Amino acid sequence: MASDKKFVEFVVDQIKGAGLITSRSMFGEYVAYADGKLFALICDNKLFIKPTEPGRAFIKRVVEAPPYPGAKNCFLIEDELEDWKWLSELVKITIKALPPPKIKKPKRKKKK
């Protein structure tokens, strides 16, 4: 089941206190970025945050699950979705712990 655009908009709105939050559709589901860093997946109308040790310490009682079959476990956020302050803080902690995004090399034109 693909995620509902209204759910994605709700999640992005809830995290607005964590920086510039954007989302992008991928294969019927969504990825979320904070200040250019991919920090979450939204699949089947559920929020999955990339796991980090500081995030684990902040959450305390972590629920982990794969966002889609074959994926690595992420932090599944359900009960705290309504708490925008808590959720924004988790995202700030997470993006601070994640490595910077890889810089993509420009594509070279093929010679004919």
The CATH number of 5-97 is which of 3.90.420.10, 3.30.43.10, 3.30.1460.30, 3.40.630.10?
3.30.1460.30
pLDDT in tens, the chain (112 residues): 688 899 999 999 999 889 889 999 988 799 999 988 999 999 999 999 999 999 999 999 999 999 999 999 999 999 999 999 999 999 999 999 998 877 777 777 776 6
- Each domain of the chain, given as residue ranges in start order, spans 5-97
- Structure tokens belonging to residue 92: 């700030």
Model pLDDT, residue 112: 63
